[in-house]
Structure 1
């Protein structure tokens, strides 16, 4: 399995992965919007995919954020982590998280963070086993809820 930056031709497959997650279906993204959104994401980060012999089996998005704190070092945010249902519990997610962590470190970030809406203890234990600490409190306002 290879973890690499997604190409525009991978974008629809990544969207299909999101549809396989256990949440309400999302509205379809028009092809022209998909191209624009992909370009927007790659201005401040990238989408990574886990490619197993031509099959996209997982993905995450990593954003790099400039900061005036910590001596001007940036920080990174991991978003939209997903693994294909038939590949869960096969270390795909662990490989994706290691890739994101290493990318943030290599970019000189002082931290990499993520938030999860998952409340299942095994999901939280997974992130902790990847080296993430659950010692902060996160807040959000969702405009589509």
Structure 2
């Protein structure tokens, strides 16, 4: 049985394993715990997990951002979308996105946005099946390093 719910502290090890699949390296466990506690205390962050028979096999994070233009309605940014390679094509991603969309509606978000790596063609097909459309915009990113 699949359950979608907010991720709790007890699932951090499993979440780190998912993130390892996502970025091909594990996160620092101490830093992960520290940041997890910080976002857990901030209602703008929604960190959802897809649990199959109690095992965390998918996750995504939504961040509600305030806006100052037009009607000043918030928007949501989605980040860190991952479903374990062992559990793809079982509807977990669809259930996660649907749950975040419901939260975005409750919070009166004007839109949801996210970026996806150019080479993740399989993921793009999935996003389009969920009603998301590629908009022709230029994306820019600058990676900042400590030194």
- Pick the TM interval, shorter chain: 0.7 to 0.9
Output the CA distance in 1 between the equivalents of 2:75 and 2:58.
23
5+ residue gaps in structure 1? none
Cα distance per residue 1:54-89 (max 9 Å; x no partner)? 111100011011111231211111100000111011
Counterpart of 1:35 (choices 28, 33, 36) is 33
Per-residue CA distance 1:13-34 (angstroms, 9 max, x = gap): 111111123x44245232xx33
Distance 1:70 1:89 in 2: 39
The residue aligned with 1:12 is 13
Structure 1: 4+ residue segments shifted above 3 A: none
Aligned pairs for 1:1-145 (under 5 A) are: 1-21=2-22, 23-30=23-30, 33-42=31-40, 43=42, 44-137=44-137, 138-144=139-145
Distance 1:26 1:56, change over 3 A: closer
Deviation per CA, 1:93-141, whole angstroms, max 9, x where unpaired?
A: 1111111112111111001111111424322111111111101422211
Distance 1:119 1:113, change over 3 A: same
SS at match of 1:61: strand
Coordinate RMSD, CA, aligned: 1.7
- Assess if the C-alpha contact under 8 Å between 1:57 and 1:83 holds in 2: yes
Instruction: State the SS of the aligned residue for 2:50.
Output: strand
Aligned length: 141
Structure 2 gaps of 5+ residues are none
